[in-house]
Structure 1
Amino acid sequence: MNTFIKDGIFVNMEEKIFERKDIRIENGIVTEIGNIEKRDNEQLIDAKGLHILPGLFDMHVHFREPGYEYKETIKTGSLAAAKGGFTGVLTMPNTKPVIDNVEILQKLNDIITKDSIVDIFPAVAVTIDQKGECLSKFESLKKAGAYALSDDGQPVMDEKVMEKSLALSKQINFPVLIHSEDKRFVNNGCINEGIVSKKLDVRGISPKAEYEMINRDVMLAEKLNTPIHMCHVSTKESVQIIRDAKKKGIKVTCEAAPHHFYADESMVLEKKSIAKVNPPLRTIEDVQEIIKGLQDGTIDAIATDHAPHSKEEKAKNLYDAPFGISGIELALPLTITKLMNNKIDIYQIIELMCINPRKILGLDDGLIKIGREASITLVDMEKTQLITEESLVSKGKNTPFIGETLQGIVEYTILREKVIYRR
C-alpha cells in the first residue's frame, strides 16, 4: 500500500525553515511534497505535531553477527536501529570470524538481505584478522559490496602498515575509518585515567592513547594527501588536533558518540561496568570540547558505536567486563536533550546524523526529495520518555542511561514502501 503522511512539520534543509507539508510515497518513492489530498488507496499517517526528518544514518555500529549472536544479530540490530529512527547503518567487521575476505562478506550480505529491515552497509577489516600486519584485499572486497575499511576495536600500531593502507585506499577511493588507540598508553586500563580511576583505585587509560595516534595518522593523511576518518573522538586534545588539521586543508573527518558528549567519567562511580566503554568516558572539560567541536563543525558526524553485550558479561567487575554501550535506540533523544540546549539546532543535527555520515562514505545525502526512495523519520521533538530496560529492543541492555528522562521520541520510521517502525 502507498503511504500518505499528513500535516507534518517538514524540516526544509535547503532553506533552513519549517513548513507544514504532506508527503505522498508511491511504490517506495517520494512523489509529492506539499499541501495535497489523500487518496483512497493510501495508508494514512497523521503527522500533526511531528517533525519530518530524513532517515538517520549511523556510520558506526556493531551488530555482532556472525559469531556473537547472543549479543546481537542483524535482525535485532536492525529492529533497534529502526526504533532509533535510523534507516541505514555501517556495520563494523570485528565479528567472529572477522569480515576480512570476500567469502565471509558474501555470507554476511546474505544474512542482511534475509533479516535486516534497514539498509546495512558493511565495513571490512583493514588487516587480516585485525592483527595489524597483512592488508586485506581491498579491491576485491570493495567489488564484493563493502563500503569502508576499519579495524575498529583494534588499532593499526605499525605506522608503515597504516601508511600502506591509506595509500592503497586512496587509489581505489575506499574510505578508511580509524580506531585511534596507542596501546603503549593503555596500561591495561578500564576507565579514563584521572580523578575517578584514582578514587576507585583502578588502572586508567591515558588520553594520550587516543590523541597521540590521531596525531600520527593526521600527519600520514597530510603526507599522502588522502582522506581519513577518525572514529569516536573523546578528548579535548583530539578535537584540537583535528580542528588544526582542517584549517591546514588536511582531509580529515571524525565522529563523536552520544555518550561522549552527554556523560563524563563521574558516571562510572554510579554505573560501574555498565559505563565502561572504549574510548572511556572522559572529563567534563573533554565533554565541553566535544560539544564545541560539534558546534563549530570540527566534528562531522554523530555515530553511536552501538556495542551490545549480554547482561552476564556487563555484570562483571570493571576489569573483566567488556567495553561497550548499547546506543542506537537512544542516540537521537540523547542528542536532542543535550545538544539542543547547547546552541545546536535541528538543521545541524540532521547534518551530523544523516547528511555528513553518508557523504563521508560516498553515499547520497539522504534528504527527502521528490523522485527519491523514501527514507523518513517522524519525531515528537517535545515529548519526553523515561528510559527502561523493557523499552529497549536490542539484545544489549547495557546502557548507563536507563532511568534517565530524555526529550524526543521517534514515532515512525519509514524506508521505501514500508513503515519499519511505529511506536
Structure 2
Amino acid sequence: MATVIRNGYIYTGGEIVHSDLLIKNGVIAAIGNNLTAEKEINAQGKLVSPGLVDVHVHYRDPGQTEKEDVRTGSLAAAHGGFTTVCAMPNVDPVPNTTDLMAKMVQNNHKAGLVHILQYAPITVDEDSKEIPDYAGLKKAGCVALSNDGKGVQDAQTMFLAMQKARKNNLLIAEHAQDDSLFNHGVMNDGPTARLLKQEPITELAETTQIARDLLLAEKTGVHYHVCHVSTKTSVELIRIAKSHGINVTCEVAPHHLLLGEENIGKDDSNFKMNPPLRTREDQKALIAGLLDGTIDMIATDHAPHTAKDKQGGFKNAAFGIVGSETAFSELYTKFVKTGTFTLQQLLNWLTIAPAKAFGLKKAGRIAINQPADIAIFNLEQKVAINSSDFKSKAKNTPFNQDLVFGQTELTMVDGKIVFQREESK
C-alpha cells in the first residue's frame, strides 16, 4: 500500500520545503504537490524530517538487560525520532569474536524497531592490549570500533589498533580518557565540585588522550572519531588537526550543549555523566565548534541505568543519562527557538552529517529511492517532558518536567510506522 504524507514541511537537500511525500514499497517514490495514495498522513504544519541518526547509544544487551534491551532501546529511539543508531559494545559478553558479533547483529535486526548498527571493541574486553580480528568482525557486520566507557590507555596498543583499523577500512571511535588523570573523579574540577565536596575530574583526562590520538591518527591515516567532546581545549585540538588534514571527526552530546556544572544545584546523580558537565566557557566553545564545522555532529550517548544504579549521589551512582527521547526537543527549544542555530543546521547535525561521516548511504536523507525512514515533529505545541512516558526502561534524566517544543508525532522505518503519538492516531 502506498502512503502519502501530506502538507508537511520537508527537510530535503539541506532545505525545508512545503510539499507532499509519497512512499511506495518502503522507499520514497516522489516529493511534490497534490500527490495521492491509498493511505494519507496529515502533516499539516509539522516538520517532516529524515529519521534522525545517532552514532552513540548503549543498549546493554546482552548481559545488562535490566537497564535496557534492544527492543526498549530501539523504541526509545523511535520515540525520539531516530531511525538509525550505532550501539556500543560494552555489553556482557563483549563481542570480541565473529560469532558473538554475528549474534548481536542478528538480534539487533530481529528485536530492533529501528536500524541498529553494531560497534566492535578496539581491544578484547575493552580493557586489554589484545586486538581482536577486525577483518572477521567487519565481515560479521560491525560498523566501527570503540571501547566506549573506557579509554585505550596504552599508546602502542592504540597505534597498532589504528594501523589495523586503517587496513580494514574501519573507523575508530574513541572515548578519550586517561585513567591516571581521571583518578576516580565524579564531577568536573571546578567550583561546584569544591562546593559539594566531590572528587574532581580534570579536563586533562580528556584532552591529553585526544592530543595523543590525533598524532597517531596523522601517522596511520585512520579515520579517528572522538566521542562526546566536552572541553574548549578538545575543540581547539580537533580544529588544528583538521587544518592539518588529519582524518578526524567528532561528536558532541546534547547534555554538554544544554547544561554546565553550575546547573548542578545539589548532589543529584541525574547530572552525573562521563565526560562530566563542564564550564560555561566550554559550552560556548562547543556551540562555536558546531557552527564553524569543527564538531561534525550531535550524538546522544544514550546511557540507561536502573533506579538502583543511580542511587548514592555523585559518589556512588553510575555515570550516564538517557538521551534518545529528549535530544531533538531540548535542542530545538534551547537553540533553534532562540536563534542560536537554524533548524536546517540542527537537522544536518542529526541526519546528514553523521550518515556521511560513518558512510551510511541509506540513512539521513529524504530523497527519491531512499528508504522511507521518516520522523514527523510538532514544532508548535509546548509540552512537559515526563520521564514516566519514556519508552526506555530507564528514567535517568536531568530534563524531567522541562517545557519543550518539538515532540515526535510519528516515526517510520522502511515505510512502516514504528511509533505514533496516541493523540495523532
Quickly name the TM-score band, shorter chain normalised. over 0.9
Cα distance in 2 for residues equivalent to 1:59 and 1:218: 20
Report the CA distance shift for 1:271/1:86 in structure 2 as closer, same or farther (over 3 A).
farther
Q: Provide the secondary structure at the position in 2 that maps to 1:318.
A: helix
Decide whether the 8 Å contact of 1:80 with 1:328 is kept in 2: yes
Cα distance in 2 for residues equivalent to 1:19 and 1:410: 19
Question: Structure 1 residue 94 and structure 2 residue 90: aligned?
Answer: yes
Decide whether the 8 Å contact of 1:291 with 1:339 is kept in 2: no
Cα distance in 1 for residues equivalent to 2:49 and 2:415: 17
Alignment correspondent of 1:413 = 411
Alignment correspondent of 1:267 = 263
Decide whether the 8 Å contact of 2:28 with 2:371 is kept in 1: yes
Alignment correspondent of 2:371 = 373
Q: Provide the secondary structure at the position in 1 that maps to 2:105.
A: helix
Aligned pair count?
A: 419
Cα distance in 2 for residues equivalent to 1:400 and 1:161: 37
Question: Structure 1 residue 347 and structure 2 residue 341: aligned?
Answer: no
Alignment correspondent of 1:138 = 134
Q: Provide the secondary structure at the position in 2 that maps to 1:377.
A: strand
Decide whether the 8 Å contact of 1:132 with 1:157 is kept in 2: no
The AA in structure 2 aligned to 1:353 is L
* CA shift digits 1:113-136 (9 cap, x unpaired): 221110000001010011141001
Q: Provide the secondary structure at the position in 2 that maps to 1:220.
A: helix
Taking structure 2 as the reference length, the TM-score comes to 0.96
Alignment correspondent of 2:358 = 361
Q: For 1:148, which of 125, 144, 147 is the aligned residue?
A: 144
Q: Provide the secondary structure at the position in 2 that maps to 1:314.
A: coil
* CA shift digits 1:294-350 (9 cap, x unpaired): 111110010000000001111222121100001111110121122212532122112
Alignment correspondent of 2:116 = 120
Cα distance in 2 for residues equivalent to 1:216 and 1:109: 32
How much is the aligned-residue C-alpha RMSD, in angstroms?
1.3
TM-superposed CA distance for 1:395, in Å, is 0.7
TM-superposed CA distance for 1:271, in Å, is 6.0
Report the CA distance shift for 1:271/1:83 in structure 2 as closer, same or farther (over 3 A).
farther
Question: Structure 1 residue 26 and structure 2 residue 24: aligned?
Answer: yes
Decide whether the 8 Å contact of 1:55 with 1:375 is kept in 2: yes
Cα distance in 2 for residues equivalent to 1:300 and 1:100: 29
Q: Name structure 2 gaps, 5 residues minimum.
A: none
Q: For 1:83, which of 79, 86, 91 is the aligned residue?
A: 79
The AA in structure 1 aligned to 2:364 is G
Alignment correspondent of 1:190 = 186
Query: Moved runs in structure 1, 4+ residues, more than 3 A?
Result: none
Cα distance in 1 for residues equivalent to 2:328 and 2:138: 30
TM-superposed CA distance for 1:12, in Å, is 3.3
Alignment correspondent of 2:11 = 11
Q: Provide the secondary structure at the position in 2 that maps to 1:173.
A: coil
Decide whether the 8 Å contact of 1:100 with 1:126 is kept in 2: no
Report the CA distance shift for 1:333/1:270 in structure 2 as closer, same or farther (over 3 A).
farther
Report the CA distance shift for 1:172/1:306 in structure 2 as closer, same or farther (over 3 A).
same
The AA in structure 1 aligned to 2:170 is F
Decide whether the 8 Å contact of 2:172 with 2:222 is kept in 1: no
* CA shift digits 1:382-418 (9 cap, x unpaired): 3222011212111110000002112211111111130
Taking structure 1 as the reference length, the TM-score comes to 0.97
Alignment correspondent of 1:43 = 39
Q: For 1:109, which of 93, 97, 105 is the aligned residue?
A: 105
Report the CA distance shift for 1:271/1:383 in structure 2 as closer, same or farther (over 3 A).
farther
